Amino acid sequence: MIAGLLGFFAASIGCALSTNLTMLLIFRALQGMLVGAATIVGRVVIRDMHAGAQAQRLMSRVMTIFAIAPVVAPIIGGWLLLIGDWPVIFLFVAGYAAVLALVVWRVLPETLPAAGRQPMHVGALLAGLWVVAKDLAFERLAFAAAATFAGYFIYVVGAPIVIVELLGLGEQDYWKLMAPMVMGMAGGAAIAGRLAYRLSAEELVDRAMIGAIGAGALNLLIAVVWPGPPQAFIGPAMLGVAVGVAFPILQLRLLDLFPDRRGAAGSMGTFASLMFNAALASVIVPLVSASLATVALTGLVLVIIGAGLWRWHRIDDAEGQNSRVAMTE
């Protein structure tokens, strides 16, 4: 984590000192590669230190922060631009990364037991990633999480089209869509944290998936019968609530599949989600953005796919448990 944060610090300095677009894009790509270290390792640390409901509550808090960050970041960026030009933003980010690296070094203990540590051999790391990637249970959970999140995220990557072209609003009106979505996701994460000790993780995801399908269906109905603001923002906000409940739990379940390879599981889960979102932004959204109804229908289909994969996982997991019980009798 410290190495990733220091690398991110260096890449941010590179962005601030860039003299042309190509140089800026290279350092931005490095930022994207390195930021995953803190994101992925942070989740693994939570699972290393906590289990069950407590881990779920902490992951929900992380999800809340991720939901709020896209709202807070532009505000901070606007304030920084009052001080200087755009490089100031990257210098601020670099300073933030340096502070985090210092805090991690001084405060956060190593959570991986010595017996579970592995040498930094490229071949061994790639072999571990392959073991995770080819596991059917992992694939089901990873794509269940990715598809469900995509049913919500389609409104994030498609916001310019939805707001300006389909709803006829202005470029200053993005907040009308984004604010309800962010509040919905933050609210869902808070709900998951509150209910962590009352319902099992599986029950929470079951209900969240049902809620996501219901929200997607309502969203489609509004898009067909009563399109336009502000009612067009109700469905995406409700999808945010469902995703906020389910996503942290699905992330924990991915890590629990490989207790000895949580880093690899977290990496591959994030990779699957990023690739899914990249396809969503570059291929799916341009194909389905003819109307609000087609966007809403696509979101509903994605959520149904995610729910179906989760249900498949639940059935297969139950059958596996029954088989293990039968073998012990």
Query: Going residue by residue through the chain (329 aa), what tens digit of pLDDT does each one get?
Result: 788 889 999 999 999 999 999 999 999 888 877 877 777 777 777 777 777 777 777 877 887 777 777 667 777 887 888 888 999 999 999 999 999 999 988 887 776 666 666 666 677 778 888 888 889 999 999 999 999 999 999 998 888 899 889 998 887 788 888 889 989 988 898 888 888 888 888 999 999 999 999 999 999 999 999 888 889 999 999 999 999 999 888 988 888 888 878 878 888 888 888 888 889 988 999 999 899 999 999 999 999 999 999 999 999 877 665 554 444 45
- Rounded Cα gap, residues 171 and 179, in angstroms: 15
Helix residue ranges per DSSP H, 169-233: 175-194, 201-225
Are residues 54 and 181 part of one domain? no
Q: In the 3-class helix/strand/coil scheme, how is 122-137 assigned residue by residue?
A: HHHHHHHHHHHHCCHH
| Distance (Å) of CA 261 to CA 3, 98, 139, 222, 241 | 19, 28, 15, 44, 30
Task: Give the pair of three-digit tokens for residue 27.
Answer: 């350092």
Please name which of 65, 77, 223 lies closest in space to residue 154, comparing C-alpha atoms: 223
Domain count, the chain: 2
Q: Which residue range is the domain that position 48 belongs to? A: 1-109
Domain assignment present for 136: yes
The residue among 84, 109, 134 that closes a domain is 109
Specify whether 43 is located in the same domain as 91.
yes
Same structural domain, 191 and 329 = yes
Do residue 72 and residue 176 come from a single domain? no
pLDDT of residue 151: 93
Among 145, 126, 154, smallest CA distance to 236 is for 154
| pLDDT digit string, tens, across residues 133-178 | 889 999 999 999 999 999 999 998 888 899 889 998 887 788 888 8
- Provide CB contacts within 8 A for 92, sequence distance 6+: 76, 80
Q: Looking at residue 324, what is its pLDDT?
A: 44
Best CA proximity match to 276, nearest among 129, 135, 146: 146
Tell me, yes or no, whether 116 lies in a domain.
Answer: no
Q: Is residue 117 part of a domain?
A: no
Q: Are residues 39 and 149 in the same domain?
A: no
Kindly state the helix (H) or strand (E) to which residue 228 belongs, with its residue range.
none
How many angstroms separate the CA atoms of 27 and 24, rounded? 5
Residue 114 inside a domain? The answer is no
Q: Within its chain, how far is the Cα of 108 from the centroid?
A: 23
Q: What is the pLDDT of residue 299?
A: 95
**How far is 303 from 244, CA to CA, in rounded Å?**
13
User: Taking a C-beta distance cutoff of 8 angstroms, is the pair 242, 212 a contact?
Assistant: yes
Is 118 contained in some domain? no
Question: Is position 115 within any domain?
Answer: no
Quick: pLDDT tens for 266-298. Answer: 888 888 888 888 899 889 999 998 999 999 999
**d(C-alpha 89, C-alpha 27), whole Å:** 14
CATH of the domain at 210: 1.20.1250.20
Are 281 and 237 contained in the same domain?
A: yes
What does R_g of the chain's alpha carbons equal in angstroms? 21
Q: Does 147 share its domain with 255? A: yes
Same domain, 135 and 48: no
Shared domain for 10 and 97, answered yes or no, is: yes
Residues 180 and 284 occupy one common structural domain? yes
Q: Is residue 166 part of a domain?
A: yes
Last residue of a domain, one of 54, 87, 109: 109
Residue 263 and residue 178 share a domain: yes
**Which residue, of 109, 141, 171, is where some domain finishes?**
109
Q: Which of 216, 168, 190, 197 has its CA nearest to residue 68?
A: 190
Say what the alpha-carbon torsion angle 108, 114, 131, 48 is, to the nearest 10 degrees: -40
- What pLDDT sits at residue 121? 67
Same domain flag for 101 and 136:
no
Question: Tokens 């080819």 identify what position?
Answer: 134
HSE of 111 in the Cβ direction (CA atoms, 13 Å)?
18
